[in-house]
Structure 1
Amino acid sequence: MGRSRRNALREARVMVLEALFSREYGEGTHLSPKEVFPAKDDLDPKSREFRDRLLMGIQENQPVLDSLIADTASGWTIDRMAKVERNILRIGTYEILHEETIPFRVSIDEALEMAHQYCEPEAIPFINGILHRIGMEHSAEKAMAPVPQREDPGS
């Protein structure tokens, strides 16, 4: 068990990003965790629960998330954004608004990690600015909470 909880949650987020991204090329149907994620994976039960809750929550709240993202991204519609960027924004926005135990800055940092891996460099400040503004305007008490120390400094 050489993987930290933080890395397991990061892997869960990437799995959700991949599922949402692939849905963009399909019929736009509602994805069930059992349909898109392997029955056996390396995630611990809490990370698997987080992954499934994230996927379901984003889909159930997508119209609200998309509206909030578009309103925050002055001059940009959700359809004008690159598919991977809008899905990273959906993940980050959902976490900021609905995952009470995840600090605001952690949600943004994790979204930016995915952006560094999957997006063009210009997208990173765009994603950062939108998520920061959403957090400050819609979850200010969470935005001011201290960030817990990392469980393993090497992650």
Structure 2
Amino acid sequence: MMKRHEAREKAMQTLFQLDSTEMSPEEAMTHIVGEERDSFYSELVNGTFENRAAIDESLRTKLENWTLDRLPKVERTVLRMAVYELNYMEGTPAKVVLNEAIELCKTFGDETSGRFVNGVLSKYTKE
């Protein structure tokens, strides 16, 4: 079984790929992790992918002076995944989701993306 942090990293890579190709989630997951599936990872990928329209709609209300399309792909992917985890999954404290999102930004993006993502996500935790 993957550690949660690793599962999020792999899910991020998978969703990043899904954002720019016509692959199915199944194909993308196989491409990133092979046949070895972790249930947390699978739920993050499938759930984020399936609920993308609703998640994007929700994000649009929180993005000031930005459109989703203009966001760098790393930030957009991290935000979608974190919003999915905050709004659709039980059990992970919001603070953990935010910290993980910032870590993913540091790994895949840059310093500014972490701050940006934190700013957007903190609006979800205040609701």
- Alpha-carbon distance between aligned partners in 2 of 1:123 and 1:20, rounded to the nearest angstrom: 17
Between Structure 1 and Structure 2, the one with more helix by share is 2
Q: 5+ unaligned residues in a row in structure 1: which ranges? A: 42-47, 138-155
Residue correspondence of structure 1 range 109-120 to structure 2 within 5 A: 109-120=99-110
Question: Match for residue 25 of structure 2?
Answer: 31
The alignment's C-alpha RMSD in Å is: 1.9
Residue correspondence of structure 1 range 6-155 to structure 2 within 5 A: 8-27=3-22, 29-32=23-26, 35-36=30-31, 37-40=33-36, 48-137=38-127
Percent identical? 28
For 1:41-61, what per-residue CA distance to the aligned partner results, in whole angstroms no more than 9, with x for missing partners? Answer: 7xxxxxx10000111100111
C-alpha contact (below 8 Å) 2:101/2:114 kept by paired residues: no
For 1:93-130, what per-residue CA distance to the aligned partner results, in whole angstroms no more than 9, with x for missing partners? Answer: 11111121000100000111111111121111110011
In structure 2, the CA distance between the partners of 1:59 and 1:40, relative to structure 1 (3 Å rule), is closer
Q: For the pair shown, which has the larger CA radius of gyration, 1 or 2?
A: 1
Normalising by the residue count of structure 2, what TM-score does the alignment of the two structures yield? 0.89
> What secondary structure, in the 3-state scheme, does the structure 2 residue paired with 1:122 have?
helix
Q: 5+ unaligned residues in a row in structure 2: which ranges? A: none
C-alpha contact (below 8 Å) 1:30/1:59 kept by paired residues: no
How far does residue 34 in structure 1 lie from its aligned partner after superposition? 5.7
How far does residue 40 in structure 1 lie from its aligned partner after superposition? 3.5
Normalising by the residue count of structure 1, what TM-score does the alignment of the two structures yield? 0.74
